[in-house]
Every structure is written in C-alpha cells, then in structure tokens.
Amino acid sequence: MSASSEPASDVPLVRQDAQNRGRLYLIPVPLGSPLGVTALPPATLACARRLTHFVAESARSARAFLKILPSDAPLQQIAISQLDEHTPATLLPELLAPLLAGHDVGLLSESGCPAVADPGAALVALAHREGIQVVPLVGPSSILLALMACGLDGQRFAFHGYLPSSRNEREQRLRELEKESRQRRQTQVFIETPYRNQQLLASLLAVCAQATRVCVASDLTLASEEITTRQVAEWQKHALPAINRRPTVFLLLA
C-alpha cells in the first residue's frame, strides 16, 4: 500500500442530479493474501459479491480477490478501473462516471482498508465533493490490529506511513519519532516496503534507547502471524525474526 494526498483543488467536477447516484463502498481486502477471505464478515462479502463495478489499486489482484469470493457475476462482466499512486488527479472524475450513472462501485486496496495509507483516499475525497454517498465496510486493518496487540499506549498514537528508504534519513526520522513519543507519551506506528523490513528493524535497534519498547507485527490474520513486543535491550539479546518480504507493522513507545 502507498499513501496519497487528496486530489488537487483544480480537479474538474462533473455535477449531476443527486438522485439515482450510486454509492461508493470501501471494501477491505484480506491482508497478505486474497485467500484470507474468512477475515471478512458476511455483510462485507455479500456486498463485494453483488457489485459489478470496482476501482482497485491493482486490477490483477482485484480479479484474484473476486474469483475467490466468488463474485455473483462472471468476471468477464465486471468492470475494474485502476487507481494507483501514478494515476493523475485529472483522471479521477472518469472513475466516478459509473457512480454518476447510478451504479454502486466498490473501492479495493491492494490489502487492508481502502484509503488508509492507500491512493484510494483521493477518490473518496472527490466522491464527497460530488455529494456521492461513501460507505465504509468492516474488515481487517493491519494498523489497528497491530495497535490492539502491541501492548503499548492505545489512547495516544500516530500513524506515520512509510519511513525514508536511505539509512541516514531513516535513522534520523526514527530519532525524531522516539523523541516525539517520549514527549507526548504517544505510540508511533509505521510501515515499510516488505523487502526493507530487516533494515528498518536494524535501524530501530541501533538508534532507539534501551528502554524504548518496540513491537514487530507480521503477517496479521495469516496462519504465520507473529507479534512480539520487547524493550530494545531485550530485542538485542534475541535472534531477530525473519520478516523479510512479510507484511509488517512497526510500533514504538519511548
């Protein structure tokens, strides 16, 4: 998943009569693999099965997800438009066309909740500007699941998305987050591209204070799920988990 800003203010609006417009359903996708559809409640599954119009971060992944559901309609009859981090804001109104024509549309992320650290947020913002009803559906969020399970402060927390990829910038950002956590007594939550997980964990343990608590939550909702919270000093005494290429959420509390 990748974060995205709201659509530019100069995105043209295509206003029509509010009657007979479709609704934009925000449909969570199982974390890690579309095979985990058991993590979705029946009402979410029923909604996803009946829809014939979707906007997805990856059309290929969306088809795999709809095939496993399975969708009520043949896949050949399902329209899937792609919205990813490279989609220009000027194309967003085209993605609303089925809604303005009266069709309900499902918004799918690559995994987890649409519009949370996800480019779908831009389409949701434009839907609100157009007066289209937005309906969030229940499903897994790796961010909230990790926060629930970490044992850190669940009253005060902040999600920071992806940290810088270069080591020096990453370690500087981690120092800033630890300082902010100490000052505000706030749990800091962040993620990384899975193939850089090991580097991020190494940086965490290199720059954070010995008493800072760090949680590593990997493969949430999967059979291989692994969630561990320790002080940095304790992490340094143990073999580090094999988290390379596994979807992981990191949390710290100083």
Q: How many angstroms separate the CA atoms of 37 and 158, rounded?
A: 28
Q: Is 228 helix (H, G, I), strand (E, B) or coil?
A: strand
Show the CA angle centred on residue 66, arms to residues 217 and 62, nearest 5°. 65
Q: How many angstroms separate the CA atoms of 73 and 66, rounded?
A: 10
Q: Is 32:220 a contact under the CB 8 Å cutoff?
A: yes
Q: How many angstroms separate the CA atoms of 58 and 35, rounded?
A: 16
Show the CA angle centred on residue 13, arms to residues 26 and 9, nearest 5°. 85
Kindly report the number of other CB atoms within 10 A of residue 55's CB atom.
26
pLDDT of residue 34: 65
Say yes or no: domain 142-253 is CATH 3.30.950.10. yes
The DSSP 8-state label assigned to residue 153 in this structure reads -
Q: E-assigned strands of 22-132?
A: 24-27, 53-56, 79-82, 105-108
pTM for this predicted structure: 0.84
**Side chain identity at residue 173, one-letter code:** R
Q: Under CATH, to which class is 24-136 assigned?
A: alpha beta
pLDDT of residue 31: 83
Closest CA to 253 of 179, 148, 172, 164: 179
Q: Which residues of the chain have pLDDT under 50?
A: 1-16
pLDDT of residue 36: 74
Q: Is 51:104 a contact under the CB 8 Å cutoff?
A: yes
- Domain boundaries defined on the chain: 24-136, 142-253
Q: How many angstroms separate the CA atoms of 2 and 84, rounded?
A: 8
pLDDT of residue 16: 46
pLDDT of residue 11: 39
